[in-house]
Amino acid sequence: MGRMFGTDGVRGVANVDITAETALDLAIAAAHVLGEQGEFRGHRPKAVVGRDPRASGEFLSAATVAGLASAGVDVHDAGVLPTPAIAYLTAHTGADLGVMISASHNPMPDNGIKFFSRGGHKLPDAVEDAIETRLREERERPTGARVGRIRTYDDGGRDYVEHLIAALPHSLEGLHVVVDAAHGAASVVGPQVFEAAGARVTVIGAEPDGLNINDGHGSTHLEPLQEAVLAHRADLGVALDGDADRCLAIDASGQVVDGDQIMAVLALDLKERGVLAHDTLVATVMSNLGMIQAMDREGVSVLQTGVGDRYVLEAMRKGGFSLGGEQSGHVIMLDHGTTGDGVLTGLVLAARVAATGKPLADLAAVMTHLPQTMINVDGVDKHAVDTHAVVQAAVLQAQTTLAGIGRVLLRKSGTEPLVRVMVEADTAERAHEVAEQLASVVRRELAL
């Protein structure tokens, strides 16, 4: 069996892959592993637990809370709140552990469990591995007054909103913002915080019923937000995903503003305010070359990492950088949070519009997207892609052809027997032509 923990906690179909027993066992094992590592020394351990509004989150959070309390951990049950809120509240309350029950932007039948260590940081891989090996282990159980106590954390949402408002560089007074909460975890606090920041807010996708999370709304379904921004003649729209750790935007004309454009706008905002650490933005190799070229023109260095927010976060913490993220809209602002926060991203983006008096479309125009072609070549030996002489020679030839006007990226899929060929160029025709040439070489040379 493969590793239970993926790059973003444990995830799968609720009540099939992720059962009540799984949640209970993981919670107990986590408490014991952290306890043995000395995390609880000298005090009663405390945890903060939250969830998104999925129906299955009700029984999975109940099982998680029960597991923690049975292992002697006092629990603050924060109910339905965004993932970044639980990370923040773990730090804010001085808790030893945070647990979020969510499958983010996945469809409703899925769910997941994500752990945060003290301070609201993701657990290191070694600790996750230790938890996995200790599942269902027989151990002594606390009795009497030593069992954990469970309290409802009613002020969690208020504390999180206050934290976001404190991070805001400029009032949103005078702006009309449409917020699409994806019928997800930010359905209450998302609109609340935009209103508290001074904006006039129109809300869509904020009627969670346990079954409709991400269904036709949010950052994976932008059409309703585009329609609402145009219908209400709003200044901009903000689309969150199910657990509100990512955000995409819509400008006043209904055009999508993606994660690369958002990062470009925020990088210049932070640089202007003198808080862009080392004048550097951290992004993945999938970010559009147009964004990197724009940052170069504006005096901002771009450090590129492998694909995945965990690699962005690692590079940020290691280098002391303050801003990073992905094209998907997962943006991390380390001065204000330990993880991607879609509500914060949308707020700071809107604040930039308010502070400059410029429409979002004008701000986003700092970068021009280079046309991109992606071809998935399946049925090939993906592991040979980095070392095969003929393939690498073809890559070198393509890079020479595109020198100064584009770039080439070959990536093996993490889950399927295929290689992704991505080409950016000055024209869509050239990108398509070079991608097709490379894909044919990969198909021919690496066929299984």
| CATH 3.40.718.10 at 163-364, yes or no | no
Shared fold status for 10-154 and 163-364: yes
Q: How many Cα atoms are found within 13 Å in the side-chain-facing hemisphere of 166?
A: 9
pLDDT of residue 420: 93
What is the rounded distance in angstroms from the CA atom of residue 246 to the CA atom of residue 342?
4
Q: pLDDT value at position 124? A: 87
Q: How confident is the model at residue 21 (pLDDT cuts 50, 70, 90)?
A: very high
Can you give the pLDDT at residue 2? 60
What does the block give as tokens for 427? Answer: 């024209």
**Rounded-to-10 torsion of CA 354, 357, 361, 364:** -70
Q: What is the pLDDT of residues 393-426, one digit of tens each?
A: 999 999 999 988 999 999 888 777 789 999 999 9
Q: How far, in Å, CA of 59 to CA of 422, rounded? A: 42
Angle between helices 125-133 and 20-36 (to 10 degrees): 120
The CATH code of the domain at 10-154 is 3.40.120.10
Least Cα distance to 62 among 123, 8, 111 occurs for 111
Angle among Cα 179, 152, 84 to the nearest 5 degrees reads: 40
Residue pLDDT, tens place only, 219-252: 999 999 999 999 999 999 999 999 999 999 999 9
Tell me what the mean pLDDT of segment 81-85 comes to. Answer: 98
Question: Residue ranges of the alpha helices (H) in 357-427?
Answer: 360-364, 389-401
The annotation status of 104 as a binding-site residue, yes or no, is yes
Buried b (16+ CB within 10 A) or exposed e, 217-239: bbbbebebbbebbeeeebbbbbb
Is the separation of the CB atoms in 261 and 248 below 8 Å? no
For 425, what's the count of Cα atoms within 13 Å in the CB-facing half-sphere?
Answer: 19
Q: Has domain 372-445 been given CATH number 3.40.50.2000?
A: no
| Active-site hit among 104, 117, 219, 287 | 104
Neighbours of 76 (CB within 10 A): 23
335 is in an annotated binding site: no
Half-sphere exposure of 434 (CA within 13 A, CB side): 30
Average pLDDT over residues 14-22: 96
Phi and psi, residue 240, nearest 5°: -100, 170
Q: Which amino acid is at 45?
A: P
- Residue 396: name the closest of 437, 448, 428 by CA: 437
- Between 206 and 35, the more confident residue is 206
Distance CA 200, CA 372 (A): 36
Mean model confidence pLDDT for the chain: 95
Predicted pLDDT of residue 5: 85
CA distance 222 to 205: 11
Residues composing the chain: 448
pLDDT of residue 254 exceeding 80, the answer is yes
- The pLDDT value given to residue 1: 45
221 token code pair: 């379904």
Per-residue pLDDT tens digits for 90-148: 999 999 999 999 999 899 999 999 999 999 999 888 999 999 999 988 888 999 999 99
Closest Cα partner for 65 from 35, 32, 31?
Answer: 31
DSSP 369: P
Q: How many other C-beta atoms lie within 10 A of the C-beta of residue 325?
A: 29
**Tokens 């609340």 correspond to what residue?**
192
Q: Is 102 a catalytic residue?
A: no
Residue 285 near residue 307 (C-beta atoms within 8 A)? yes
- Tell whether 215 is in a known binding site: no
- The answer to the question of whether 245 is labelled as a binding residue is yes
Structure confidence by residue, pLDDT tens digits, 350-397 = 999 999 999 999 999 999 999 999 999 998 988 888 899 999 999 999
CA 253 to chain centre: 26
The domain limits of the chain are: 10-154, 163-364, 372-445
